[in-house]
Chains A and B, each alone.
Chain A
Amino acid sequence: MTLISALIVLGVLALIFGSILGYAAIKYKVDADPLVDQIDEILPQTQCGQCGYPGCKPYAQAIADGDDINKCPPGGDNTIHKIADLTGREYTPLAGTESDDVAEEVKKVAYIREDECIGCTKCIQACPVDAIVGASKAMHTVITDECTGCDLCVDPCPVDCIDMLPLAQTTQSWKWQLDAIPVKQVH
């Protein structure tokens, strides 16, 4: 008798709780895919469009839908590693730098030929990372450390005084090629 009533009581309790949770699951359903927001948060939000998408959010959506994770030059290696961790995918080097020869594509930064600059501030408005300083009718210049090399400032310049120059390699920016030789996992 006790056994049967115990079974009935637990069964009824479980049924009630189950229906409460089922109702809550429908009522508090989360619509958006949280993964898109998470990827969007990792991306640098420069909206530069170098990945081929109109901005960071569309690219985040594309990654969630299965696009490659290595199309974001402003984010660089760091971003790819983070996205690889988040999505559980294999890390791949930045698109365009995976060529085997030593002379790989170097990072470029914008440089303003200062004697030609007319101080129109158009490049300042275009810069997504606020790497250009200067005021109206005064000469502008680029903060090299901040520049991501997205070349969004080149087009708006009315006098074409902005060049994309390769960044010289220093001891600060040197990157060890630790995985130059593929390592095989032996189990």
Chain B
Amino acid sequence: MTEYILLLLATVLVNNFVLVKFLGLCPFMGVSGRVETAVGMSLATTFVLTLASFTSYLINNYILQPLDLTFLRTLSFILVIAVVVQFTEMLLHKTQPTLYRLLGIFLPLITTNCAVLGVALLNVNEQHNAIESIIYGFGAAIGFSLVLILFAAIRERLAAADIPKSFQGTAIAMVTAGLMSLAFMGFTGLIKLS
């Protein structure tokens, strides 16, 4: 049990996907303009990441490895991710039309969010079992959500701040992201996985 909690914490804080591994930067910059959209995006990504992580584990372990087809890994993982994203999009369009419109193009773009494929491939690399895969995917999603919402909150403050002209817009956002990344580097060494 302890190792699962440690794995979760390690994925959320120490090996944060956005700020330490630098995966999934596109939505990190793209939908962090407002906190509400950031929360919506976080929920959608959490759903997709966890589900995709588990499904790709199943496919890798029960279909590709027994049949010796591991060279199909990337291809089939992308297939899984695309299907999960498409499913999420339909679900959201039906249940949350406002959120669906707010997220716009970034919702289908979860497909190309490299954090999703990254989690699936890292699961294979680190030889996680089923539960570990779910926790790893979920942890990656929580880390992504945490950073995205924090960043969105900072950017909402920045919108009202008196910023020098040459730093306005994306420039100050990049600087902020860099500083946040530095702060997250401080978690290194908090947890040591054997």
Q: Which residues of A contact B (CB under 8 A)?
A: 2, 5-6, 9-10, 13-14, 17, 20-21, 24-25, 28-30, 34, 37-38
Nearest to A41 among chain B residues (CB) is: B101
Q: Are A10 and B91 CB-contacts (below 8 A) given A2-B68, A2-B69?
A: no
Contact yes or no, B75 A24, CB < 8 A: no
Docked Cα-Cα span, A38 to B79, in Å, equals 32
- Number of A-B residue pairs with CB-CB distance less than 8 Å in the complex they form: 46
B94–A6 touching, CB < 8 Å:
no
A10 vs B75: C-alpha distance in the bound complex, in angstroms?
9
| Size class of the contact patch on chain B | 20 to 34
Also in contact, A30 and B93, with CB within 8 A (given A10-B72, A10-B75, A13-B59): yes
Q: Which of B45-86 contact A (CB under 8 A)?
A: 59, 63-64, 67-69, 72, 75-76, 79-80, 83, 86
Shortest distance from the beta carbon of A83 to any chain B beta carbon, whole Å: 16
B63 touches A30 (CB 8 A): no
- Does A5 lie within 8 Å of B69, measured CB to CB? yes
Interface residue B90 (Cβ < 8 Å from any Cβ of A): yes
Q: How far is the CA of A38 from the CA of B101 in the complex (A)?
A: 10
Given A5-B67, A14-B79, A17-B79, answer yes or no on A24-B91 (Cβ-Cβ < 8 Å).
yes
User: Taking chain B's interface residues, is the majority helix, strand, or loop, or is none over half, making it mixed?
Assistant: helix
The A contact surface, by secondary structure, is helix
Q: Complex formed: what's the CA distance from A21 to B79 in Å?
A: 12
Complex CA gap A29/B86 in Å reads: 13
Chain B residues near A17: list those with CB within 8 A.
79-80, 83
Bound CA span A142–B97, Å = 38
B87: interface (CB < 8 Å): yes
The 7 nearest A-B residue pairs measured at CB: A28-B94, A17-B83, A28-B90, A24-B90, A6-B69, A24-B87, A5-B67
Complex alpha-carbon distance, A39 and B59, angstroms: 44
Residue of B nearest to A18 (CB): B83
Contacts of B90 in A (CB 8 A): 21, 24-25, 28
The chain B residue sitting closest to A17, CB to CB, is: B83
In the assembly, what is the distance between CA of A89 and CA of B15, in Å? Answer: 49
Please give, as numbers and ranges, the residues of chain A lying within 8 Å of B63 by CB-CB distance.
9, 13
Shortest Cβ distance from B59 into A: residue? A13
